[in-house]
Chains A and B, each alone.
Chain A
C-alpha cells in the first residue's frame, strides 16, 4: 500500500509516463529523476498518464512545474491524460489547467502531439 511506480512507454516519438500510486514528498524525487532523465535524453514530448495515480501533493505538482519551462523551450510539452477527479481537483485548486493541457484519454493527448509535429 501507498507505493509509487513509474513506467515509461514510447509511442510515435512521445514518451508516455504511467504514474501509479501515491505521489508525495517521499516519492516525488523518483518522478523528478525520471523527468530529468527524459530531458537529458532530449525526449521533450511527454504524456503523463494519471489513470492509476491515487494521490498527489504539492511535492508532486512541483515536479511538473520544475520542468515545463525547459521542455517548452525545446518545443516539447508535458500533457496529461486520464486524470481521476480527485487528482484533477488538486490541479484545479492551483490553477494548473491554465498551464497544462489535460485530456480525457491517452489517444486525444497523443493526437495533439502528432498534429503539432
Chain B
C-alpha cells in the first residue's frame, strides 16, 4: 500500500472540554484517511487520540475546562505521528499491564483502560515531560506496506 499523501503537517488547539473530543477525532481521522489508512486503522488512531485527550482532561487538568491541549500531526515515509501536549499535572507512566477486569469490578476502578487501549491500538506510545513544563504524549502508527 502506498501513502496517498506522505507529507502531512497539521495542528489543532482545543480547550480541555470533553465536547471537543468529536472535533479531535474528526481532525485526526481526516488526516489518517488522507495518509492512506483504511477505515479500521482510522478508527483505531482516532480512539487512541481520544483516550489521550480524555486522560489529559481528567488527570492532567483535573476536569478544569479552560486549559489548552495542542495536537500536532506529522508524517514521514510510512509513519503517522500524533503529538499531544498539555500544561497540566505531569503524568508518570507506570508500567500499565492489561487491566484485571475482576479487580476493576471489585474496586469500581475505571482508570487504566484508556492507557491500555492506547497501547493496544498504536504501534508506539511515549510520554515525556518537556523543558517548558509541558507534558507530551507521542502516538505512532505505521502504515503497513
Contact = CB atoms under 8 A, between A and B. Distances in A.
* Interface size, B (range): 20 to 34
Nearest to B50: A57
B110 interface: yes
A25 B110 CA distance: 12
Nearest to A87: B43
Contact of B101 (A58, A89, A96): A96
B117 A95 contact: no
Contacts of B101: 65, 94-96, 98-99
Contact of A94 (B22, B26, B106, B117): B117
Nearest to A72: B105
Interface in A1-31: 1-2, 22, 24-26
Contacts, number: 75
B78 interface: no
A68 interface: yes
A66 B109 CA distance: 8
B98 A57 contact: no
Contact of B54 (A55, A57, A90): A57
A86 interface: yes
Interface in A57-77: 57-59, 61-62, 65-66, 68-69
Interface of A: 1-2, 22, 24-26, 55, 57-59, 61-62, 65-66, 68-69, 86, 89-90, 93-96, 98-99
Q: Return the 8 tightest CB-CB contacts between A and B, nearest first.
A: A62-B110, A26-B18, A2-B22, A58-B113, A58-B114, A25-B18, A25-B54, A93-B120
